[in-house]
Chain A
Amino acid sequence: MLESLFFFVIAGITLLSALLAVVSHKIVYSSISVIITFFSVAGIFFLLNADFLGVSQIIIYSTGIAILILFAIMLTDQGKEMKLWFDLSLKTILSFVIASSFLFIVLISIFNVLKYFGYSSQSFNHVLPVASAAASIKTGGSAIVIGKQLLTVYLLPFEAVSILLLAAIVGCIAVAKKSKVKGDQA
Chain B
Amino acid sequence: MTIIIKILSVSLVHYLVLAGLMFFIGLFGLLTSKNILKMLISLEIMLNSININFAAFANYTDLINLRGQVFSLFVMAVAAAEIALALGILIALYRNKPTVNILEHRELKD
Contact = CB atoms under 8 A, between A and B. Distances in A.
A49 B88 contact: no
A145 B40 contact: no
Contacts of A86: 32-34
A99 B73 contact: no
Interface residues of A, number: 93
Interface in B15-67: 15-18, 20-29, 31-35, 37-38, 40-42, 44-45, 48, 51-52, 55-56, 58-61, 63-67
Nearest to A12: B18
B90 A76 contact: yes
B88 A175 contact: yes
A94 B72 CA distance: 31
A135 to B, nearest CB: 10
B69 to A, nearest CB: 5
Interface string A146-186: 10011000100100010011011101110110100000011
A78 to B, nearest CB: 7
A129 B64 CA distance: 10
Contact of A129 (B6, B14, B61): B61
Given A95-B28, A149-B66, A168 B20 contact: no
Interface residues on B, range: 35 or more
Contacts of B14: 7, 11
B83 A176 contact: no
Contact of A106 (B20, B58, B100): B20
Given A44-B15, A99-B31, A157-B74, A146 B48 contact: no
Contacts of A157: 74
Q: Which 10 A-B pairs have the closest CB atoms?
A: A95-B31, A22-B29, A168-B81, A176-B88, A103-B24, A86-B32, A172-B88, A99-B28, A106-B20, A99-B27
29 contacts: A11-B18, A14-B22, A44-B15, A44-B18, A50-B55, A50-B59, A50-B72, A52-B69, A53-B51, A61-B44, A61-B48, A64-B80, A72-B90, A76-B91, A76-B100, A91-B32, A92-B32, A94-B31, A98-B31, A110-B13, A110-B17, A123-B60, A126-B11, A128-B63, A146-B70, A150-B70, A165-B81, A172-B88, A186-B97
